[in-house]
Every structure is written in structure tokens, then in C-alpha cells.
Homo-oligomer: A and B are copies of this chain.
Amino acid sequence: MAGSIPTPRPGGSMTHQEAVSRAIEIAGHVLAPAAADNDKAGRFSAEAVDALGRTGLLGLMLPAESGGAGLGPRTFAAVTATLAEADASVAMVYLMHALGAATIGSARSGATVGPVLADIAAGRHLSTLAFSEAGSRSHFWTPISRARRNGSGGVRITASKSWVTSASHAQSYIVSALSPEGVSPTDLTLYVVPAGAPGLSVAGPWDGLGLRANASAPMTLSDCEVPSELQITDDGAGFQAMMSIVLPLFNLGTAAVALGICRAAVQATAAHLKSARFEHLNQSLGESLPTLRAQLAAMQIDTEGLSARVDDLIDHLERPRDATMLRVLETKAAAGDTAIAVTSAAMRACGGAAFSKHTSIERFFRDAHAGAVMAPTGDVLREFIARIVLGMPLF
């Protein structure tokens, strides 16, 4: 099926609209037909990654000099939401890759990341993040693991990473660890660890409520050696990279995933209310039941509100101002709640048909619960937001 997607020009020259069109093509031809089966089987879609690579979308935000398309958060959000409308698991894989690529793309001058960037631009390299640890749970900004000097300029890392999206499918992992000589709990450094590195292994299968096809497994680093060239931030500069590069795009991206899920839920609910009928009344559910219409409307209202928020955040990222960090935090918190609210309403509105999997709604509903769970969680975001509003220190 993926074969039906026209081979694009090299990624480097792509407009916003072209990128979105390619995402629509892939969503329709590669993602949608396989989403239900991949969800059921918990199967990672290598086909989807392949299609994203061939169409240049893996290099979407890399600068032109690295062979990327040089596009920004607006296109990234549109592509991610489009993918999520068909398969949120793939959208999350894409999102995590984009974060990895952006982190690598902003590597310190001493790092050697040219080949990796070239591979990403060429669509041959999928990256991802490996931040959260079992010991510090959702507080991803505070690793428990500490890198140790290996005597030849590099480090050795032993860590228990949880929730690594695309685990065993990515070509590289952005790994965080406390800096060898760091003193504060956020004095951390980032490294890019290639897939085949000795000591790096997937620690278990992935079996979640939702996003079942994104291979979010735990991974173990056991005395894993990382040479100096693959240290991508200066010692202790990892936290800053997390806050300035990863967090804004991650929050935008998860909001885009939530938006895609919400849109899919609205469409599926409307379709069900139009097609399902009370034979004894000779009416569709939608015609017969004002209270179901009210629920559908509430879903639509919430979905478009999230869309407006995403647009607003994009505007803030394109033209940063004082309130930008607040918007970054607010948007993910709202997106997580909105996706749950909208898909929960869809479950209610479609009742038994949704519950017994006659529609895709229960998949949207399960997938929707991932966003609120991924750190920074809603509780943490609200704590940060309140501290900013009250003028209290964040950490």
C-alpha cells in the first residue's frame, strides 16, 4: 500500500503544505488500514516509519544544511496531528523521533553528529528519547543514574530507563544521566547512544492500555560505553536542553497527538450517530436523541478549543514572549484532559457499539489516556503553572 505514495523530491525542499499533504497520504494509505490490527497485536509499524522516511518527513525540522526540510513547529504539529488522526501510536513514534532529531541537531560543537543527521535527513534513521527512569518515575528531569568517566574522554552509563518509545526499533536513543561530577539533582548530561551499543538492551515487552503499537518498552543500560563524540550537551547542560528544546516540542507534539485523536473521535461519533438506527422508530440515533446530540456538540466544542490552543502555542513558539513557557505548560495539561474528556464522551455517546469495538472509538479512548500519563504529567504541569503565576521558584 505504501507503494501508492508518490516518491517525493528529497526532503530538503518541502513546503508546509507539501509536508501536510504527504502526512495525509501516509495516514490514509499506510496508517489507517493497519491501525486496528497493529493495536490488537501490539505491533510496531515499520512500514509507517519507512514511509515517513521516504517522504522526507523524518527530517522535517532539521535545517537545510543538514539535508532537512527546515520547517518549524507549525508544520510539525500539523503532520503529527494528521498522523494521530489515523494512528496515534505512529504519531507518538514520529513525535519522539522529532525530539531526538532536534536534540541531536542542536548538539554541542564537540560532538560528531553529522552522519546521524545525514541519515535522518535521508529517512534512514529513527531516533527517540530515553529519559525517564524507574527510580525517579515521572520526574524525568532528575535521573537516578550517573555517568562515570571511562578514562578515555567518554563515559559509562548504567541505568534503568522506563517507557522508551520505539524501543528496539530506533537507530539511536537520547539518553540522560547525572553528570559525572554534577552536584544538583538536575545536573545532567545528554548522550546519543546508537542502537547496537554493547550494554544497551530492551528490558521487557510493551503491553499498555493504549498506544499499543509504539513499542514503549523499558530499556537497560549496563555499563554502556559512550564515547566523547556522542555526548551531545556539555557536562550539566542536559537540563537546559530538556527545558529549551525538548519540552516545548514535546508538549506541542503531545497536544497535536491529542488533537488528532479528538478529531477522529468526533468524526467516528458523528458517523455512528448518523448510521446507527432505531428500526422501531425509523430514525438514526442522531435524529432520535437530543441528549446524544448535546454530547457530540460538547466533543466538537472541546476539540476545536484544543485546536485553537495548539495554534496559539505555535504562534508563541514562532514569536516567543514572556508567557511562552506558561503556554507550553498549559497546552499539554489541557490537551491531556481534553483527549480524555472527548473520547470518554464518545464512549458514552456510542454506548454498546463503542464498548464492543464495532467502531474505532475504544482505541481512540485508550490511546487518549497516554497523554496525561507521559511526564510532565498533568499534576506536575499544574504545579509548575501555579508556581509561575504565584511567583514561586519552579524547582
Point out residues on A near B: beta carbons under 8 Å. 135-139, 142, 144, 162-163, 185, 206-210, 216, 266, 270, 273-274, 276, 278-280, 285-287, 289-294, 296-298, 300-301, 304-305, 307-309, 311-312, 326-327, 330, 333-334, 340, 344, 347-348, 351-352, 354-357, 362, 365-366, 369-370, 372-375, 377-379, 381-387, 389-392
**5 additional contacts, CB 8 Å, given A139-B280, A286-B386, A294-B382?**
A144-B280, A274-B391, A296-B389, A304-B327, A305-B308
* Interchain residue pairs with CB less than 8 A apart (18): A138-B352, A163-B356, A185-B280, A207-B356, A209-B356, A209-B365, A210-B355, A291-B379, A293-B383, A294-B382, A294-B383, A300-B385, A304-B330, A305-B305, A311-B311, A347-B369, A348-B372, A351-B372
Contact A326 B300 (CB under 8 A): yes
CB atoms of B292 and A379 under 8 A apart: yes
Which secondary structure characterizes the binding site on chain A? helix
Q: How far is the CB of A348 from chain B (nearest CB, A)?
A: 6
Query: Which of the residues B279, B300, B366, B378 comes within 8 Å of A348, measured between beta carbons?
Result: B378
With the chains together, A236 CA to B298 CA distance in Å?
Answer: 33
Closest to A294 in B: B382
Residues of the B chain whose Cβ atoms lie less than 8 Å from the Cβ of A386: 286, 293-294, 296-297, 300
Closest to A355 in B: B373
Cβ contact within 8 Å between A280 and B136: yes
| Option from B138, B334, B340 in Cβ contact (under 8 Å) with A301 | B334
CB-defined contacts of A311 to chain B, threshold 8 Å: 308, 311-312
- Which B residues are in CB contact (< 8 Å) with A379? 289, 291-292, 294
Please tell me if the beta carbons of A309 and B305 are within 8 angstroms of each other in the complex.
yes
Would you call A138 and B300 a contact (CB within 8 A)?
Answer: no
